[in-house]
Amino acid sequence: MNFDLNKKKLREVNNYLQNIDRKDNKRKFELSNPQGQHAICVGLKDEIDVTIKGHTGYYCAGMNQKANITVHGNVGTGVAENMMSGKVIIKGNASQSAGATGNGGTLIIEGDASSRCGISMKGINILVKGSVGHMSAFMAQKGNLIVFGDADSDLGDSIYEAKIFVKGKVKSLGADCVEKKMDEKNINELNKIFKELNISEDPKKFKRYGSARKLYHFKIDNLSSY
């Protein structure tokens, strides 16, 4: 089923996709002419496949549950923000705060992601096949940020228990973020993610970063790090 956003209002399209008739067999949808509109495909909660042909604005696929959403273009700020489950694939680049506060599911960005990718992530898996901007995984609490390219400055600033894997170079690490041993357990974890997503990559080529756990509780000796 196709929706042309030149002819149909986005509010109507979102409402339809948010309230799928489960007795209906329609499970595949295509949206054309998105023209950078904001909040496309937010709040979807059924196992449906949605293809967006073109560039989108802010908060595309926000609060997603169960749906598989593919964007054939670039996306604006906060793609897949507060995502709970399902899969979101971006065929282009993503602006800042991609996957922000994501609780679950998988976000794949085939291009680059801008600053604060994975900010405050809470369980989501984010894979960026390009590079990420500064302060990515800022205050990241849980989940995995996997970067195939490079990472800009202050990676993992104030990170909690999320894991960061980077194949390329890291310009600098943020407060309380350190490089950690890439042991067998982490290699297997990364390999499992790649296999599930049918991605051909060698986990042993990635370095792992995470929390030094010095900022969990205030200590006067660590004052300069806050």
Q: What is the pLDDT along the chain (226 residues), one digit of tens a residue?
A: 999 999 999 999 999 999 998 777 789 999 999 999 999 999 999 999 999 999 999 999 999 999 999 999 999 999 999 999 999 999 999 999 999 999 999 999 999 999 999 999 999 999 999 999 999 999 999 999 999 999 999 999 999 999 999 999 999 999 999 999 999 999 999 999 999 999 999 999 999 999 998 876 666 666 666 5
Instruction: State the CATH architecture for 2-225.
Output: 3 Solenoid (2.160)
Tell the burial category of 16 from Cβ atoms under 10 Å away from its Cβ (0-12, 13-18, 19+): middle
Q: Which helix (H) or strand (E) holds 195?
A: helix 184-196
CA atoms within 13 A on the CB side of 205: 10
pLDDT score, position 222: 63
Place of tokens 């990170």: 159
Which sequence spans correspond to the domains of the chain? 2-225
The structure tokens listed for 10 are 């986005």
Rounded to two decimals, what is the model's pTM? 0.94
pLDDT score, position 195: 97
pLDDT score, position 223: 62
The structure tokens listed for 112 are 């680059």
d(CA 76, CA 124): 19
- Strand order of the β-sheet with 87-90 is 2-4, 28-32, 49-53, 68-71, 87-90, 106-109, 122-128, 142-147, 163-166, 207-211, 177-180
